[in-house]
Amino acid sequence: MRDFATSTYQRKKVTANRVKVQRNPLDLNKFLRPLGKITLALTAVAMAGLILFVVYRMLNSATFFRLKTIEVSSSKRLTREEILAICGVEPGRDLARLKLKRMGEQLAQNPWVETVHIRRYFPDGLSIAITEREPVAVINMGFIYYLDKKGNVFKVLNQGDRLDYPVITGFSEEDLNKDPAATKEALKATCELLTILREKGAFILADVSEIHYDKGYGFTMFTASGALPVKIGPGDFVAKVERFARIYRELMAQRPTLQYIDLDYIDKIIVKKS
């Protein structure tokens, strides 16, 4: 038996077998096919978006409810043309797209306008109704303003505005800014006095040229002829005016001899003669 341990035979190193691998060509279609589908889908989405945008623009520019009829309430101060110009509306506009709130706000900025009601009536109608402020006096607060029946100071007088109203004095813009609540109440009391004078005896109001307000004392009227002071005080206007109305003509016949008339008592009238 051969002893391989002591043998001088040397084994040759055998080179490992090399297997030649057959490589198939790269199939690009395999990768491009999904990309083509994605591109096609994106193109379809883009086309759909473009179509929707075009349709939207067409619908947005189309006028389905064309305005034909505009009803405007009658008013003393503002003409129909002025009202429509302030609102910025005219026949032919799209009724559905009119911004009624903005139109009302623009119209309410006019000092003569007290309330505004704007309504649309499909398919082609619009109604604009306003109520106007009516002056009951002019008030001197540095500038001359109109005063309405609710005690609102609402418009600076301009050239051409009527002046044949009683003049209210004793108020200032400073009072209105510093103490608006109290000043507003005093202005309402002024309007209450004017209403009572008108209702209880128009002949008295016609002779009133000025009503002066004093925070401490109240109200004093001055007659148009001779500026005779008629002291009224802070309240109870009805009873005071009714007492004054009963002897008004008799007192006015003595006007040249009178210094003032004081109505600010519960059951009497004080007449001061010169």
Query: Are 173 and 230 in the same domain?
Result: yes
Q: Tell which of 116, 132, 148 closes a domain.
A: 132
Nearest 10 degrees: Cα torsion 189, 195, 200, 203: 110
> Is residue 14 situated within a structural domain?
no
Q: Tell which of 132, 147, 175 closes a domain.
A: 132
Helix (H, G, I), strand (E, B) or coil at 151: coil
> Is residue 112 situated within a structural domain?
yes
Q: Are strands 229-233 and 258-262 parallel, antiparallel or unpaired?
A: parallel
Query: Are 172 and 102 in the same domain?
Result: no
> Is residue 147 situated within a structural domain?
yes
Tens digit of each residue's pLDDT, the chain (274 residues)? 455 455 555 555 555 555 555 566 655 565 556 666 677 777 777 777 777 766 656 545 556 789 999 999 999 999 999 999 999 999 999 999 999 999 999 999 999 999 999 999 999 999 999 999 999 999 999 899 999 999 999 999 999 899 999 999 999 999 999 999 999 999 999 999 999 998 876 667 888 999 999 999 999 999 988 899 999 999 899 999 999 988 888 888 898 899 999 999 988 999 999 8
| CATH, residue 249 | 3.40.50.11690
Query: Are 148 and 264 in the same domain?
Result: yes
**216, 247 in Cβ contact below 8 A?**
no
Q: Classify residue 170 by its DSSP letter.
A: S
Give pLDDT, residue 16. 53
Place of tokens 């106007």: 132
What is the C-alpha separation between 175 and 153, in angstroms, rounded?
13
**219, 190 in Cβ contact below 8 A?**
yes
What is the C-alpha separation between 204 and 238, in angstroms, rounded?
13
Give pLDDT, residue 47. 79
Query: Are 183 and 93 in the same domain?
Result: no
Which residues constitute the domain of residue 212?
A: 135-273
Q: Tell which of 94, 115, 132 closes a domain.
A: 132
Query: Are 107 and 168 in the same domain?
Result: no
> Is residue 208 situated within a structural domain?
yes
> Is residue 92 situated within a structural domain?
yes
* Burial of 65 (C-beta count, 10 Å sphere; 0-12/13-18/19+): middle
Stated pTM of the model: 0.72
Q: How many domains does the chain have?
A: 2
Give pLDDT, residue 241. 92
Tokens of 153: 């100071």
Give pLDDT, residue 217. 92
> How open is the CA angle 132-137-138, to the nearest 5 degrees?
100
**81, 70 in Cβ contact below 8 A?**
no
Query: Are 203 and 264 in the same domain?
Result: yes
